[in-house]
Chains A and B, each alone.
Chain A
């Protein structure tokens, strides 16, 4: 059913908190996501021409890199992993004509029932974040499942019951937990670091939060300026430098 579920008291809102300060842009989360999800939930995540001229394929998580230039400081690079934000007001759910796209009442995970998906692509059009991609072989909509087949999996050790991207991140830039519980580790992290929503103006109320990069220590430009102005102190070069300056 593609009506959004009624918010129940005590229901979880499982999601990710992604730290843009610590992400090093290694793409390990992207690769482990593909590895787990090509063998787990639903149809495999296929590729077309993986070794050809135009490799392409379905991925549930991708890392973009942005250059941010403050007015009074040098530019910085921010690596930006992006996957489904499991929105509270998920527009991808309500537009689905078949009921394949749904949001779970108990934990807020947004999923696709691939056997009911007609591959019309309207949910991907409705998502402002680009979190959904049609599988080029199975022709059904694929998206992040928050590794629903890991986090509730009794057959794997308890410490592994987190999404594959979180488990694999070498920088520990990804955190998983219940964002509806204000006492959870992820909620505390969001409160302490000023966790933010992506495109809040779209009214989607994302569950996943992003932690902004910590303010950089303002680079003291003065020593750099000295290097920028080359000056020879002594010897023949120093004499030449001074002589040419005077000309």
Chain B
């Protein structure tokens, strides 16, 4: 699949924003004082909104994006829009109460947390629902999206609160537990993706053309000499060229370096700085991970090309 930069940016940053929102809603330790509260709220809101705004950049008609909230009964993309708007509205009320009256409403926070999880889940389901792309059609896809969203949220929460302690553990340690979980899930996802092919449906050039019962089928001539929308969008090859290097970058910047920085932060020496660096490294690593998520995905229509 064609890796659209706007969609990669959207899934990573809105995941980070809703991850942080989830923790704010749970009552995770956050900075004190007007400025601290403002920074925490602004970061969560800005990341979530920036992601959603960027997702409209890949639309042919962004001015009609409002129509996308109408079909929630059948469409995961529509559900994602509806859930994001509801969660952001809850966040707006929560932020208002917290900033102006210093009230962190537990009940409102819980709804906001549930909304954040549901939004990230819906984002992942846009991809995981597609039978045409077996690599994506697994429970591991939403599991990875949710785990990375939680990890980003924890790193940011630790950075904001100066490594606030929850249940006897500093946030940096919670983040390192979360990142291990996320990468275990991602390794399972990659492992499955490496061998899945079209085996979930059993589709092949033979079934795609219906000619498989006669003999071995292979493409003799494409319908046209140049590229078309389908080959550019769904039979995308260039993105896979550097797959191995990008995997190393994803693991290096998205797993190894952040874990090292988290452990340094957990020692209690300038945790804010180390967690800020961990957040930046993790974001960069996840951009590479998300690039591969799209670029390596094989679509059933490629059987015709």
Q: Which residues of A contact B (CB under 8 A)?
A: 1-3, 20, 27, 30, 54-59, 62-71, 73, 75, 77-78, 80, 82, 91, 93-100, 116-122, 124-130, 133-134, 136, 138-140, 196-203, 210, 212-213
Whether the Cβ atoms of B203 and A128 lie closer than 8 Å is yes
Q: Which of B222, B233, B304 contacts A124 (CB 8 A)?
A: B233
Select which of B129, B132, B220 is within 8 A of A67 by beta carbon. B220
Q: Please determine whether A133 and B215 come into contact, CB atoms closer than 8 angstroms.
A: no
A158 to B220, CA, bound (A): 38
Q: A124-B229, A126-B132 are in contact. Are A1 and B209 (CB under 8 A)?
A: no
Interface flags for B25-66 (1: CB within 8 Å of A; 0: not) read 000000000000000000000000000000000111110110
Take A64-B222, A98-B67 as given contacts and tell me if A129 and B77 are in contact as well, using a CB distance cutoff of 8 Å: no
Which residues of B are found within 8 Å of A140, using beta-carbon distances? 60-61
Chain A residues whose CB sits within 8 angstroms of the CB of B61 once the complex forms: 117-119, 139-140
Contact check, B230 vs A118: say whether CB atoms are below 8 A apart.
no
Residue pair A97, B78 in contact (C-beta under 8 Å): yes
Which A-B residue pairs are the 7 nearest by beta carbons?
Answer: A119-B60, A139-B60, A70-B215, A62-B223, A130-B301, A97-B78, A97-B68
Q: In the assembly, what is the distance between CA of A97 and CA of B201, in Å?
A: 25
Chain A: minimal CB distance from B60 (Å): 2
Known: A2-B75, A56-B228, A201-B201. A212 touches B59 (CB 8 A): no
CB distance from A216 to the nearest CB of B (A): 9
User: Which one of A96, A128, A197 contacts B132 once the chains associate, using CB atoms below 8 Å?
Assistant: A128
Q: A54-B227, A64-B222, A97-B68 are in contact. Are A125 and B81 (CB under 8 A)?
A: no
- With an 8 Å Cβ cutoff, the count of chain B residues facing the other chain is 58
Are B230's CB and A212's CB within 8 A?
Answer: no
Contact at A98–B60, with CB atoms within 8 Å?
no
Of the residues A78, A97, A201, contact of B70 by C-beta under 8 Å: A97
Chain B neighbourhood of A118, CB < 8 A: 59-62, 64-65, 67-68
Interfacial chain A residues near B257, Cβ < 8 Å:
none
Closest to A57 in B: B228
Pick the most buried of A54, A98, A117: most chain B CB atoms within 10 A of its CB.
A98
Give chain A's interface secondary structure class: loop
Q: Quote the shortest CB–CB distance from B214 to chain A (angstroms).
A: 5
Distance (Å) between the CB of A31 and the closest chain B CB?
12
**B59 & A119 in contact (Cβ 8 Å cutoff):** yes
Contact, CB under 8 Å: A122 / B301? no
Residues of chain A within 8 A (CB-CB) of B244 are none
Complex formed: what's the CA distance from A140 to B64 in Å? Answer: 11
Known: A3-B73, A99-B70, A130-B234. A212 touches B214 (CB 8 A): yes
Q: Which residues of B contact A201 (CB under 8 A)?
A: 201-203, 207
**Closest beta carbon of chain A to B199's beta carbon, Å:** 11
A-B contact count (CB 8 A): 193
Q: B200's closest neighbor in chain A, by CB? A: A201
Chain A residues with Cβ under 8 A from B230's Cβ?
A: 124, 130, 133
Nearest A residue (CB) for B228: A56
Q: Which residues of B contact A97 (CB under 8 A)?
A: 67-71, 75, 77-78, 81
Instruction: Please tell me if the beta carbons of B226 and A56 are within 8 angstroms of each other in the complex.
Output: yes
Supposing A95-B77, A139-B60 touch, asked if A202 and B203 sit within 8 A by C-beta, the answer is: yes
Interface string of B203-247 (1 = CB under 8 A from A): 101011111011111111111101111100110000000000000
B229 touches A125 (CB 8 A): no
- Known contacts A3-B74, A116-B64, A203-B131; decide if A128 and B211 are in contact (CB<8 Å): no
Chain A residue nearest to B230 (CB atoms) is: A130
Chain B interfacial positions (CB closer than 8 Å to A): 1, 58-62, 64-65, 67-71, 73-78, 81, 126, 129-133, 201-203, 205, 207-211, 213-224, 226-230, 233-234, 299-301, 304
The answer to whether B223 touches A63 (Cβ under 8 A) is: yes
Within the complex, the shortest CB–CB distance from A48 to chain B, in Å, comes to: 10
Query: Which residues of the other chain, B, contact A96 by a CB distance below 8 angstroms?
Result: 71, 74-75
A54 to B131, CA, bound (A): 32
Q: In the complex, A202→B129 CA distance in Å? A: 13
A126-B130, A202-B132 known; A196-B75 Cβ under 8 A: no
Chain B residue numbers with a CB within 8 Å of A127 are 132, 301
Q: Is the CB of B133 within 8 A of A125?
A: yes
Minimum distance in angstroms from B89 CB to a CB of chain A: 19
B233:A121 contact, CB within 8 angstroms = yes
Q: Which residue of B lies closest to A82 (CB)?
A: B304
Name the residue of chain A whose CB is nearest to the CB of B4.
Answer: A121
Assess whether B67 is in contact with A65, with CB atoms less than 8 Å apart.
no
- Alpha-carbon distance A125/B203, docked complex (angstroms): 16
Task: Give the residues in chain B near A30, CB-CB below 8 Å.
Answer: 223
**Selected A-B contacts with CB under 8 Å, 18 pairs:** A27-B223, A62-B224, A64-B221, A64-B304, A65-B221, A68-B214, A91-B132, A96-B75, A97-B71, A97-B77, A98-B68, A118-B65, A118-B68, A119-B59, A128-B131, A134-B60, A200-B207, A202-B132
- Please judge, given known A-B contacts A66-B209, A125-B234, whether A2 and B74 are in contact too, CB under 8 Å: yes
